[in-house]
Amino acid sequence: MSGRVAIERWIAWVRLGAAAFALLEVGLFSPDMHPSYRPAEWSLSGAFVAGAIVLLVLARNAPPSWLGPLGFSALLFDVAVVCIYGILFSYEYGNQTRWATILVVVEAALRYGLLGGVLMPVALIGYFALNEWWRAHEFTGPAFVVDRVTFPSGIVLLMGLIVGWLVQRLEHEAAAGLERAAEAERLRDTLGRRVDVLEAANRSARALGSSLEIDQAFGAFIREVRGLVPFERTAIVLVDNNNARTIATAGRGSRDVFPPGSSGPIAGSVLERVVTGEVVVRSDLARLEYPEDSLLVDLGLRSELIAPLLLGARPIGMISLSREQVDAFTEDEVELVALLGRLVATAIQNIRSYEAERNTVEELRRLSALRADFVSLVSHELRSPMAAVIGAARTLQARWRTLNADQREAFLALIADETNRLAALIGDVLDTSRIEAGTFNYRFSDVDLATIVTDAVGAAAIGQDEVRVRADVPEPLPPIRGDAERLRQVLTNLIDNAVKYSPAGDEVAVHARRENGRLLVEVSDHGPGIPFDQQRLIFEKFGRADVAGGSKPGTGLGLFIARSIAEAHGGTILVHSRPESGSTFVLELPATP
């Protein structure tokens, strides 16, 4: 609209200048004016000046709604003035007044673009014909000349096309410029909003990174986020292999529904979509699309916004916010939470790295303590048999002739037993060292596991007579690829441990069977059992469980060696036990296809 006003005012000033020029032309530069036309020419010039002044005043003060009618009226006024001047000056053959029509063509093109630049010259064709007819009919000179009609008509048409195209082009460029300016303003506003979102997300991420203790960090994070994206419940869940583990919750049901520390499978849950990097907006949880929805609906929650925690391009978990209203999250909130997911992932990773380092330090401290205990234990285990061997050897040396045959046999048997204990102890230490160094050797061949079970049970039964050891192999077992001596070492260790912790007169059962393509050997006793929190410890180096009645002599290396051998065969060793209910150790091995 401001462009139309400017054009109208400019034309009004040009019109006023043209009126002043017309006065000069009539008064000073037309001495041969036809006497009968002079009053009309002066009257026309006066009307032209008056009209120009009126139109200038209207152009400067008229409201915008008048611009259309005012411009069209002004154009008709200018056409009428120019055409009348052309008729009045036609008495002079060759007079140039008719070329003033170029002005009204330009004016029409300025107002109406290419359309005005074409229609005005077409309309002026009749004027040029009338002007030439009037000259030829009223005054001396040649008869009607067609070229004096066609030539000016063509010239003004070309002028109208040029000016009209230029005006239309300028209007297009002006519209494009206005659109670009509006787009720039929209981009500025969008950028401002994004800066605000980024700053808010950074504040929340800084709050989460304010402490390396997850509880303190999450508390600060919740206080910051609650002011940005109000919620009734929020949670941070991490991906752990194929499981989801909740590390922090706040709001409704935070202690009852998926509390911190709880875990579950990813398959079938909404996290299955989130781990692909998708931001999930759920408008109504009452549709019960996933198993966990019913628990959230019972808390009065109806909508949920879930964003992945992205570490680079890798999702490591999700952050969820829930509200009690249906379809409660806006696009800006979705954008903010999606950005939070990226920033929170970095803070969570820092906390996890810190926890991993702390756990490593604690594990190293624990291993150091275990090594110290092991040194003390080995020293004790070595000292006892060595003392027995030395004592028996010195007795035999000093009293060989005075001892009878049975006494000498007893001392020699004691020496043999204690040296066997020493050999076994040293063997365990050497085996552990080789396993850690990766030099523990195996000789694989086709092995009959049933025979190994029978031999190990027989050796255990012969070696002691306080606990019965029974083998149960109800069906033929297929051969497996393995090292027979190493597998015998595993079973001997499991059976010896079961015998060691079984009460006198009790029984140790060894049961072998095939199940789901694997061979299982179960060694069960009725001993004191192993506490659940120590069942992982017993398979570690130097690990020994605290059981009722006290621990038995040993280095804490046997089960570590046994599981290492089982894993080298593609299997493992599991334990099922409860205090006061005995234990069952299960050796699992893959069967040969």
Per residue in 159-177, pLDDT (tens digit) is 889 988 998 888 888 888 8
* Alpha carbon distances (Å) from 182 to 1, 174, 176, 178, 191: 16, 12, 10, 6, 14
Mean pLDDT calculated for residue range 548-552 = 54
Q: With 60 as the cut, is the pLDDT of residue 237 above it?
A: yes
Please tell me the predicted confidence (pLDDT) of residue 371.
66
Q: Is 60 exceeded by the pLDDT of residue 575?
A: yes
Which pLDDT value is given to residue 587? 92
Helix boundaries (H) for 28-100: 38-61, 67-88
| Polymer length of the chain | 593
Which pLDDT score, from 0 to 100, does residue 464 have?
75
Query: Is a pLDDT exceeding 60 seen at residue 551?
Result: no
Query: 36-50, 250-264, 557-571: which range is least confident on average?
Result: 36-50
Q: Can you give the pLDDT at residue 197?
A: 65
- The token duo for 534 is 């120590």
What's at 518, amino acid-wise?
R
Phi and psi (nearest 5°) for 530? Answer: -125, 130
Residue 86 DSSP SS3: helix
- Taking alpha carbons only, the member of 48, 39, 44 closest to residue 19 is 48
C-alpha dihedral (23, 24, 25, 30), degrees to nearest 10: 110
Q: Which of 106-120, 338-352, 356-370 has the highest mean pLDDT?
A: 106-120
Grade residue 309 by pLDDT with cuts at 50, 70 and 90: confident
Average pLDDT, the chain: 81
Higher pLDDT, 356 or 295: 295
508 vs 2, more confident:
508
pLDDT for position 322: 92
Q: What SS3 class is residue 580?
A: coil
**Structure tokens given for 590:** 């893959």
CB 26 within 8 Å of CB 39: no
Q: Of the candidates 335, 322, 330, which has an alpha carbon nearest to the alpha carbon of residue 196? A: 335
pLDDT at site 88? 76
Please tell me the pTM assigned to this model.
0.41
State what percent of residues in the chain have pLDDT above 90. 5
Q: Is pLDDT at 576 greater than 80 in this prediction?
A: yes
Of 44-48, 290-294, 574-578, the range with the lowest mean pLDDT is 44-48
**Cβ contacts of residue 431 below 8 Å, gap of 6+?**
440, 557, 561
Beta bridge partners of 347: none
pLDDT at 32: 65
Own/partner contacts of 23-29, CB < 8 Å, gap of 24 or more, are 23/49
Q: Which pLDDT belongs to residue 577?
A: 87
Q: Measure the CA–CA gap between 500 and 587, rounded to whole angstroms.
A: 19
User: Which range has the top average pLDDT, 65-69, 142-146, 492-496, 530-534?
Assistant: 492-496
User: What pLDDT shows up at residue 200?
Assistant: 66
Q: 363-397 pLDDT, tens per residue?
A: 777 667 666 655 665 665 666 677 777 877 888 77
Q: Examine the pLDDT at 211 and tell me if it is beyond 80.
A: no
Q: Determine the Cα–Cα distance for residues 565 and 572; give it in Å rounded to an integer.
A: 8
Residue 422: the pLDDT is 73
**What is the Cα–Cα distance from 101 to 121, expressed in whole angstroms?**
9
| Residues 525, 582 contacting (CB under 8 angstroms) | yes
- Looking at residue 225, its pLDDT comes to 74
pLDDT value at residue 199? 72
Above pLDDT 70, what percent of the chain?
A: 87
pLDDT band at 3 (very low <50, low <70, confident <90, very high): low
Specify the DSSP element, H or E, that contains 584.
strand 583-590
